[in-house]
Amino acid sequence: MIRTERLLLRKPQLDDDLAEFVADDAVQRWIGGPEDPAALIERWVGRWERNGVGPFLVELDGRLIGRVGFIVWDNRTWETSTYDLAGAHAETELGWAILSSHWANGYATEAARAAREWIERDRIISLIDPANVRSKRVAEKLGARPTERVTTPHAEADVWVHP
């Protein structure tokens, strides 16, 4: 667990309810669209098991308001992967998604900064849709800078490199 001034970041558990998260169309627009909440939580728990990192659930006053954390990508294909499979081509992405009802409060920046301080990696990136102005602002506040545009299986994304 990670505590910030206002938030709690914790590992997901299989019994966590992501229904509100997957039903938030404004959030899902940027992260691949809605999916089955049970399948999503299983994938997140699996990422922690395979990589030792993954998404944290973000809570405000005991209520789930989003997720922030890590996805491993293979930079040869820009598909999600594991550190073992991608080897030297592994990229660690720091991503964030806060429920739209909680936007404009600085929660994404606060949570992402705490997660970035928690992980021990030489290079951290964020993949951001070029049209996602809000996420680009979060990346800028974190000191990240765009370096290139890549094509993932889902969409084009700018690679933002964190300091």
3-class secondary-structure state, position 151: strand
In tens, the pLDDT along 18-48 reads 889 888 888 877 887 667 889 999 999 999 9
In the chain, where the domains are located: 2-122
> CA end-to-end span of the chain, whole Å?
23
In tens, the pLDDT along 105-158 reads 999 999 999 999 999 999 999 999 999 999 999 999 999 999 999 999 888 999
Contacts of 34 (CB under 8 A, 6+ apart): 22, 23, 25, 28
In CATH terms, 2-122 corresponds, of 3.30.60.50, 3.40.50.1000, 3.40.630.30, 3.40.50.360, to 3.40.630.30
